[in-house]
Amino acid sequence: MARFYKEAQLMAAMRHPNVISLLGFCVKPPALVTEYCARGSLTDVLREAACDPEKAARLTWQLRIHMALDAAKGMLALHSHSPVVLHRDLKGPNLLVDFSWRVKVTDFGLSKIVEEGLSMQSTQSPVNPRWLAPEILAGARATTASDVFSYGVILYELLTWTVPWGGADFWEIVSALTRGERLPIPDRPSLPGPDTLRFAGLAGYIVLMQRCWAHEPAQRPGFEEIVQCLRRLLEEAPA
Active-site residue set:
89
In this structure, the number of other CB atoms found within 10 A of the CB of residue 139 comes to: 9
**DSSP letters spanning 84-152:** EEE-S--SGGGEEE-TT--EEE---TT-EEE-TT---------S-GGG--HHHHTTPPP-HHHHHHHHH
Q: What is the three-class DSSP state of 25?
A: strand
Between CA 34 and CA 37 the distance in angstroms is 9
Is residue 151 within 8 A of residue 72, CB to CB? The reply is: yes
Between CA 38 and CA 35 the distance in angstroms is 10
Axis crossing angle, helix 202-212 with helix 144-160, rounded to the nearest 10 = 140
Torsion sign (Cα): 113, 149, 214, 210 = negative
Between CA 137 and CA 73 the distance in angstroms is 26
